[in-house]
Amino acid sequence: MLEGSSATPLYVQLADEIEGKISRMEYQPGDRLLPELEMARVYGISVITVRKAINGLVEKGLVERRQGKGTFVTKPKYSRNMKKLQSFSEMCFQMGVRPGARVLEERLIPADENVARRLGVKAGSSVIYISRLRLADEEPVQIEKSFFPLKYAFLLDAEFDDNSLFDYLREKCGAKVCSSEKEIELCRATPEEAGLLEVKRGDYLLLIRSTAYDKDGEPFYAGVQIINGDRFSLYVYESEE
């Protein structure tokens, strides 16, 4: 129970107690918390104090309010470190979840002007296109669209359901991403994207355009990742140096 005589404010004590239950998995993702009025009665505090505690948990991303339904424990977000060259599979292993993939498309296509510019090839020339739905513990979280120069045509003969594309390239020909640049923006889910990521049409998604380079500074691939922002956070480090 909460201690009224403690120097720690009651709303902080309550928030700490709820956060502790979440970390100990006494509250599971998706569980509904007690209504604020009932929680105030159980703990012998005011509704204003309860609301202040819940607001703090919302700011931390541990719970979310749903209009007309109550307050629910959120699913933990997957965190991607944008400072490091890190594949989706590496990120999942680091977080203790199982990466997966389902190939959506795998074929030769003519490069549009944007892809051609990023890969350093002529517009209209053939490039390798591989599109996959990425899974974390079988949950769809990201649509991945990758474009490779024609010298990597052998990729079309490989299987990439639940396999790491970049591990395969490293093992097959020693190809490795050594640097990359990224553009990040918001987009709205198309009907197809909403169906794949199990979100609503028009929901906001994160869109990352990546261009990666090999050890010689040559374009390795151009990629687009469409990410469910409710399930991801991106970490970026900045410095004056």
In a domain, 39, yes or no: yes
Residues 118 and 229 in one domain: yes
* pLDDT at site 175: 83
The CATH number of residue 179's host domain is 3.40.1410.10
* Average pLDDT, integer, range 49-70: 90
Please give the tally of structural domains in the chain: 2
Q: Are residues 136 and 178 in the same domain?
A: yes
- 224 versus 177: which is more confidently predicted? 224
Which residues span the domain enclosing 158? Answer: 78-235
List, for residues 72-113, the tens digit of each pLDDT value.
998 777 777 666 677 788 778 877 788 899 999 999 999 999
Confidence of residue 172 (pLDDT cuts 50, 70, 90): confident
Based on the fold, state whether residues 83 and 174 are members of the same structural domain: yes
Pair 62, 141 in one domain: no
End-to-end CA distance of the chain: 49
Q: What is the mean pLDDT of the chain?
A: 88
CATH of the domain at 34: 1.10.10.10
Q: Is residue 3 part of a domain?
A: no
Residue that terminates a domain, selected from 19, 49, 73 = 73
4 falls within a domain: no
- 53: pLDDT confidence band, cut at 50, 70 and 90? very high
Element at 25 (helix H, strand E): none
Packing angle of the helix pair 36-43, 47-59 (nearest 10 deg): 120
Same-domain check for residues 30 and 148? no
The answer to the question of residue 5 being in a domain is no
Output 46 or 83, whichever has higher pLDDT. 46
pLDDT at position 29 is 84
Distance between CA 212 and CA 174 in Å, rounded? 15
The pLDDT of residue 237 is above 70? no
84 and 157 belong to one structural domain: yes
The answer, yes or no, to whether residue 208 has pLDDT greater than 80, is yes
Report d(CA 18, CA 131) in Å as an integer.
Answer: 41
> pTM of the predicted model, to two decimals?
0.71
